[in-house]
C-alpha cells in the first residue's frame, strides 16, 4: 500500500510536463495552496505512468504536447490502467485546442491554459482557476464516463415516458455551461434535427483561442449549424451560437427589427467573460416569457442571476441533474434558489427542448409511382 506524507488529507497532484519551466511554475502554484501539494513530477508520459503506479496521486495535470507518449495517449493509458481525474494543460493554438477536446472526450476532467500571462494579476487568476479545478477534480475522484447518448435525431421519440408539455412555446433557448461542457455539448447537440425551430445561444466558459475551434468541431458533428457568434448577426432558428471567449455575448433588438447578437466588453466587473448571467439577462429582457433557460454542468454560480431573470419574466427553466453533471455547481446554485422548473439528465435535455417547441419529425415523402 502506498504511503503518503503526514499531509494525507491534502490533495496530492502529479505534475506532468516536458518543460522544466512549466513543471516549476505549476508546482509553485499548487504548492502555494494549503489543501493541495505536489506529490511528484514527470517529464513525459512513460514516467507519468510509473509515478502514478508508485505515488497514487489524487489528480494529474497533464501536458497536451509531449515527446514519446503525447497527452492523449498518456491519458488513455491512465484511464485504462489506473483511472483518476486528469486536468489537461494546453496551449491556445488551434492544434492544441483540438487535441484538448479529444482528451476531454477520452475522459479528461478539464483543462487549463499553458501560457503564463505577463501580469501578476493574471497569474493570480490562472492560479485560482487551476486550484479550483484540482479541488473539483479531487472531489469527483473518478474519470468521466462515456455518456453514449449520441444517435441520429429522433424528434421526441426517446422510448421514455413523455413529460408534461410546457404551456409556453419558446422562441429561443439560452444555455449556460462550464466544467464538463465540451463533452456534454458534443454528446447533446448532435441529437437536434436540421430543422430545429429555435436558435440556441450558448455560453461555455473557455480561454481565448478555444471557442472558434470548438464551434467548428461541433459544426462537423451536428445537423444544425454551429458557429462562433459575431457582432450584429441576426439570430436565426436552427442555428447554435457559441459565445466567443474574452467578450460578453448579449441579445439586442434594434427598433423594428429581429433580435441580433451583440458582443461587448461591458459590464467589465464580471468574474467570467463571457458571463452566463449577462447573456441570460439580455435574453430575458428581449424575449421575456418566450425564453427557455438551461443551466448545465459547471463550477461556481455563474448563471444563477440570469436564470432568475428568465424565471421572473415567465420563461421556461431547466437544470441538469447532479448524476449527469461533471460538477454540480451552477445547477446546484439555481436549485437552491428554487427557480428550476425541471431537473433532468443530460440525455433528456434535447427531448425537453424539442417538446417545448412542439417539434414533430417531418412526414416521409411518398414515392411517386408512374401512371398514378
Catalytic pick from 17, 205, 282, 321? Answer: 205
Minimal CA–CA distance to 317: which of 308, 330, 326?
308
Q: Are 133 and 180 in contact (CB under 8 A)?
A: no
Who contacts 288 (Cβ-Cβ below 8 Å, separation ≥6)? 313, 314, 315
Q: How many CB atoms neighbour CB 342 within 10 A?
A: 16
Catalytic residue status for 178: yes
Query: Could you give the count of Cα atoms lying within 13 Å of 61 in the half-sphere of its Cβ?
Result: 33
Q: Are 323 and 137 in contact (CB under 8 A)?
A: no
Q: Are 228 and 196 in contact (CB under 8 A)?
A: no
Helices (H), the chain: 20-31, 45-55, 71-81, 94-105, 120-140, 181-188, 211-221, 276-287, 304-312, 330-336, 349-356
Grid-cell match 455563474, residue found: 302
DSSP string computed for 124-158: HHHHHHHHHHHHHHHHH-SPPPP--------TT--
Q: How far apart are CA 219 and CA 189, in angstroms?
A: 9
Catalytic pick from 178, 282, 301, 324? Answer: 178
Catalytic pick from 302, 309, 321, 324? Answer: 302
**What's the grid cell of residue 19?**
518543460
Angle, vertex CA 327, rays to CA 111 and CA 10, nearest 5 = 75
Q: How far apart are CA 63 and CA 71, in angstroms?
A: 6
Query: How far is the CA of 235 from the CAs of 94, 173, 193, in angstroms?
Result: 27, 11, 18
Q: How many CB atoms neighbour CB 144 within 10 A?
A: 21
Catalytic residue status for 302: yes
Grid-cell match 448579449, residue found: 250
**Which residues form the catalytic set?**
178, 205, 302
Amino acid at each position: 500500500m502506498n504511503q503518503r506524507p503526514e499531509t494525507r488529507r491534502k490533495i496530492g497532484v502529479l505534475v506532468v510536463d516536458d518543460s522544466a519551466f512549466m513543471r516549476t511554475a505549476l508546482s509553485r502554484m499548487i504548492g502555494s495552496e494549503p489543501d493541495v501539494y505536489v506529490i511528484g513530477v514527470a517529464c513525459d508520459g512513460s514516467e507519468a505512468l510509473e509515478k502514478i503506479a508508485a505515488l497514487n496521486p489524487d489528480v494529474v495535470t497533464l501536458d497536451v504536447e509531449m515527446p514519446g507518449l503525447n497527452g492523449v495517449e498518456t491519458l488513455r493509458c491512465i484511464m485504462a490502467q489506473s483511472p483518476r481525474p486528469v486536468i489537461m494543460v494546453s496551449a491556445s493554438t488551434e492544434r492544441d485546442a483540438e487535441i484538448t477536446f479529444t482528451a476531454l472526450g477520452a475522459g479528461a476532467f478539464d483543462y487549463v491554459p499553458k501560457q503564463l500571462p505577463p501580469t501578476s494579476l493574471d497569474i493570480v487568476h490562472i492560479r485560482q482557476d487551476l486550484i479550483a479545478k484540482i479541488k473539483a477534480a479531487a472531489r469527483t475522484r473518478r474519470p468521466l464516463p462515456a455518456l453514449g447518448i449520441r444517435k441520429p435525431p429522433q424528434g421526441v421519440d426517446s422510448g421514455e415516458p413523455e413529460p408534461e408539455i410546457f404551456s409556453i412555446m419558446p422562441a429561443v433557448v439560452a444555455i449556460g455551461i462550464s466544467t464538463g461542457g465540451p463533452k456534454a455539448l458534443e454528446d447533446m447537440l448532435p441529437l437536434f434535427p436540421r430543422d430545429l425551430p429555435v436558435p440556441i445561444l450558448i455560453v461555455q466558459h473557455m480561454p481565448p483561442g478555444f471557442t472558434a475551434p470548438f464551434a467548428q468541431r461541433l459544426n462537423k458533428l451536428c445537423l444544425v449549424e454551429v458557429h462562433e457568434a459575431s457582432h450584429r448577426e441576426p439570430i436565426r432558428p436552427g442555428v447554435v451560437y457559441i459565445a466567443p471567449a474574452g467578450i460578453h455575448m448579449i441579445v439586442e433588438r434594434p427598433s423594428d427589427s429581429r433580435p441580433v447578437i451583440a458582443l461587448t466588453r461591458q459590464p467589465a466587473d464580471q468574474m467570467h467573460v463571457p458571463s452566463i448571467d449577462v447573456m441570460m439577462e439580455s435574453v430575458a429582457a428581449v424575449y421575456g416569457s418566450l425564453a427557455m433557460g438551461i443551466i448545465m454542468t459547471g463550477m461556481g454560480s455563474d448563471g444563477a442571476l440570469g436564470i432568475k431573470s428568465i424565471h421572473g419574466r415567465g420563461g421556461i427553466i431547466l437544470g441538469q441533474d447532479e448524476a449527469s453533471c461533471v460538477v454540480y455547481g451552477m445547477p446546484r446554485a439555481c436549485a437552491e434558489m428554487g427557480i428550476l422548473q425541471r431537473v433532468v439528465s443530460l440525455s433528456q435535455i434535447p427531448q425537453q427542448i424539442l417538446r417545448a417547441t412542439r417539434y414533430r419529425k417531418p412526414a416521409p415523402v411518398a414515392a411517386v409511382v408512374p401512371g398514378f
